[in-house]
C-alpha cells in the first residue's frame, strides 16, 4: 500500500548505502552524451542491433553497475547508461563499506539528484537515440532502485518497446497507471522500499488496467540483490544472475514482436 506521501515503492533508505563490491574489469567506454557522462558497452559477439537504456541505482557509476551493463551487452544489446549523479554517488559518502560518513545529509542528496535527473533524462534519451540509433533500432530500458521511475516514465512514452526494474524505489501509483509498454518486475521478498503489500498493490493496478507485466520474486534476498549482493553466497549470486538473464529474455521477446 502507498505510504503517507503516496509512494508504493518508497524512496531509497539507509540500506541502499550498503553493499558488496564485485570484482571484474569493465570493458565499456565513457563519453559525454547530452552533456552527461555516459557509459557505453557494445556487444563483442552476437549483436541484435538494439539498445538497452540503463538507469543506475544510488551507487551510480561503479564497478558492479558497469559489469551489469556489460552483461546486457553479452546478451546482444548495446547498453548505454548515464551518470545523473554527476560524479557524486552515495558510495563517496561512506566512512566504511557499511556505514555512511558522519554529517552526510542523505535526504538533501536525494532531493538534489532527483531534480537534476528528472530534468535531463528525457533529453538524454533523445540524444542517445539520435547518436546511437538507426531507423531499425529498437529500445528497451532497465533501472535499479533510484532508476525505476525513469523506466516507468519511458514506458509511458513511445521510444522504448519494453522495460524492467529491479528492487525499485520512488514509485507512485501514477507510474504504473501511465504505462503503455510491457514491464518486468524483478523483486526481493524482503525489501524495505517495495514490501509485499505495496508490491501486491502494484500488481493489482497492472491487472486492473490490463498492462502486460511479469513478476519475478526471489525469497532469501533483500533490496539491492540484483546489483550489490554477496557473490560469495551461491544463492545470492544465482538470484543476481537470474535477474539479469530473465530481463534480457524479456527484452528479446518484446523487441522481436
In a domain, 51, yes or no: yes
C-alpha distances (whole Å) from 140 to each of 92, 96, 98 are: 30, 35, 33
CA–CA separation, 122 and 117 (whole Å): 9
The tally of domains found in the chain comes to: 1
- pLDDT for position 99: 62
Report the CATH number that the domain containing residue 172 is assigned in CATH. 3.40.50.1820
In a domain, 28, yes or no: yes
In a domain, 52, yes or no: yes
What is the mean pLDDT, run by run of 10 residues, along the chain of 257 residues? Answer: 78 80 96 98 96 97 97 98 96 67 86 98 98 98 98 98 98 98 97 96 98 98 96 98 98 98
Burial class (CB in 10 A: 0-12, 13-18, 19+), 112: middle
In a domain, 53, yes or no: yes
- pLDDT for position 19: 83
In a domain, 181, yes or no: yes
Sign of CA dihedral 200, 205, 206, 208: positive
Residue span of the structural domain in which 117 resides: 7-256
In a domain, 208, yes or no: yes
pTM of the full structure: 0.96
CA–CA separation, 50 and 48 (whole Å): 6
DSSP-derived 3-state class of residue 230: coil
Q: Which residues are catalytic?
A: 145, 191, 223
In a domain, 2, yes or no: no
- pLDDT for position 89: 93
* Helix extents (H) in 25-136: 63-74, 106-132
Q: Please give the DSSP secondary-structure letter assigned to residue 4.
A: T
Pick from 39, 103, 101, 102: which is nearest to 73 by CA? 39
Amino acid at each position: 500500500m502507498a505510504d503517507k506521501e503516496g509512494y508504493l515503492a518508497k524512496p531509497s533508505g539507509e540500506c541502499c548505502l550498503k553493499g558488496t563490491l564485485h570484482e571484474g574489469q569493465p570493458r565499456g567506454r565513457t563519453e559525454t552524451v547530452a552533456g552527461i557522462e555516459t557509459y557505453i558497452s557494445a556487444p563483442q559477439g552476437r549483436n541484435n542491433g538494439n539498445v538497452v537504456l540503463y538507469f543506475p541505482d544510488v551507487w551510480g557509476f561503479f564497478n558492479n553497475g558497469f559489469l551489469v551493463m556489460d552483461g546486457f551487452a553479452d546478451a546482444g544489446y548495446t547498453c548505454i547508461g548515464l551518470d545523473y549523479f554527476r560524479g557524486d554517488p552515495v558510495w563517496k559518502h561512506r566512512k566504511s563499506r557499511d556505514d555512511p560518513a558522519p554529517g552526510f545529509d542523505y535526504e538533501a542528496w536525494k532531493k538534489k539528484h532527483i531534480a537534476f535527473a528528472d530534468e535531463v533524462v528525457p533529453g538524454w534519451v533523445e540524444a542517445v537515440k539520435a547518436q546511437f540509433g538507426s531507423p531499425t533500432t529498437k529500445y528497451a530500458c532497465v533501472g535499479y532502485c533510484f532508476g525505476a521511475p525513469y523506466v516507468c516514465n519511458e514506458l509511458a512514452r513511445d521510444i522504448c518497446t519494453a522495460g524492467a526494474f529491479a528492487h525499485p524505489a520512488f514509485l507512485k501509483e501514477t507510474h504504473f497507471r501511465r504505462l503503455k509498454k510491457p514491464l518486468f518486475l524483478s523483486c526481493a521478498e524482503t525489501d524495505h522500499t517495495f514490501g509485499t503489500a505495496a508490491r501486491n498493490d502494484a500488481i493489482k493496478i497492472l491487472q486492473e488496467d490490463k498492462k502486460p507485466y511479469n513478476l519475478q520474486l526471489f525469497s532469501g534476498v533483500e533490496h539491492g540483490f540484483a546489483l550489490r549482493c554477496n557473490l560469495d553466497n551461491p544463492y545470492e549470486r544465482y538470484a543476481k544472475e537470474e535477474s539479469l538473464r530473465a530481463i534480457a529474455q524479456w527484452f528479446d521477446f518484446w523487441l522481436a514482436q
